[in-house]
Structure 1
Amino acid sequence: MNEKPRELRESVRRHYAAAAVQVSEGGGACCGPQPSLGCGDPVAVAELREGERVLDLGSGGGADVLLSARRVGETGKAYGVDMTDEMLAVARANAAKAGAANVEFLKGTIEAIPLPAGVVDVVISNCVINLSVDKTAVFAEACRVLRPGGRIGVADIVAEDRLSPEQRAERGDHAGCVAGALSFGEYREGLEAAGFTGVEVTADHPVADGMHSAVVRAVKPDGDASSAGRSTRP
């Protein structure tokens, strides 16, 4: 990773570490009032079902993981992955307070998910993929950890195709979930290049001129050669 992406990732880490500390002290920050609020409702978008295994990319304070855990029930499991120690501490405290036994929070980046291939049914994310400095790796990793036939349901900030990266940066900074946003076309192309089909990127509501909170859905095809068969269920 060259210096610019490394600096961007570190600025994001510092921003959300500070947000976690603020929340633990009773405050709020980031893309919404709390670190896990994000910009949409990926749990509803993903239409989670009893018994499924779900992974939240950039799980923050763990709210979407805990909601997912309730949706999938005792026979399912909800994972969260986050790179920030402070966020993980908040998430684990929230899980303990909720008495959630079917959750697990993992330290790692969404560009290198610390799970084996083909182990989850659903990947969700709430206003986090736009923060990544390597979205190609994020899409490839999401496809890798999904079982064949698995799906993604994401809420994210997306730019209209008319906006250049420089114009997106004028509308907000990277850590604030704006400057790093992909366009609608780039999002579709990135997911398709990673092997997904049935890609839908649909605007939900505007967040700035030419920038929207969007709902993203896609499916990993059955029998994908990149996966070693069906889920290995860790």
Structure 2
Amino acid sequence: MYDIGTRARALALVGQGRSLNSVSRETGISRAAIRSWQDRMEPLPRMTQPAPGPPADQQAYAYLLGLYLGDGCVSPHPRGGHYLRVFCADAWPGLIQECRDAILRVRPGVRVHTVPKQGCVTVTSYWRHWPALFPQHGPGKKHERAIVLEPWQREIVDAFPWEFIRGLVHSDGCRVINWTTRPVGGERKRYEYPRYFFTNKSDDIRRLFTQALDRVGVEWSILRRGGEPFNASVARRASVGLMDAHVGSKH
């Protein structure tokens, strides 16, 4: 028989994303025993982990928050704890690596996995307290419920607005080259210009994006699709220059 403290320590190691093999080797407890404790519907009171502190790296958190609001989710594990998942297009390996790095900077010590899927990669990390760092999680689609930042999140976004903007653009945004024609010397010439778009059905998430743009002095406009607001656009040369300096294209 193992005492409660021993069980709590073993389950805490598993909760950090450690494998049953590694926890068994470190503690000397059999995998079968650890697995049986995991299968309990409710952990013993002393087995619960303390609530987490603030993000270890607030700049990385601002970026990861943008990724999460665009293409992320927090989902429960059947045996307790939660998964943070961020879906990244496999065309952008640099973005996938940045996502991995941000998770590890926000919560040092967790394990991060990449799960290939058709056309994308899921960057996944298990930790018991991900909902505390992403309180916007909940049932249903984000655009069907209110998305409001907690005061401590607002302070981080205000301190690192460009990182937040980068995360949102890297998830649901893009840098494109638009073109038009104009008369030059009596002839119509093709004229190309760069432009940024952020596309999200959630009014709240688009508003968070444009509020951050306001904070850094970027001019923007809202474009509609089917009569409904859908795209936030940055097209003015000076504002595109700012975006190029701080965000840039996905890679």
Q: TM-score by structure 2 length?
A: 0.30
RCO comparison, higher one (Cα < 8 Å, 6+)? 1
Structure number with bigger Rg: 2
Q: TM-score by structure 1 length?
A: 0.31
Structure whose residues are more often helix by fraction: 2
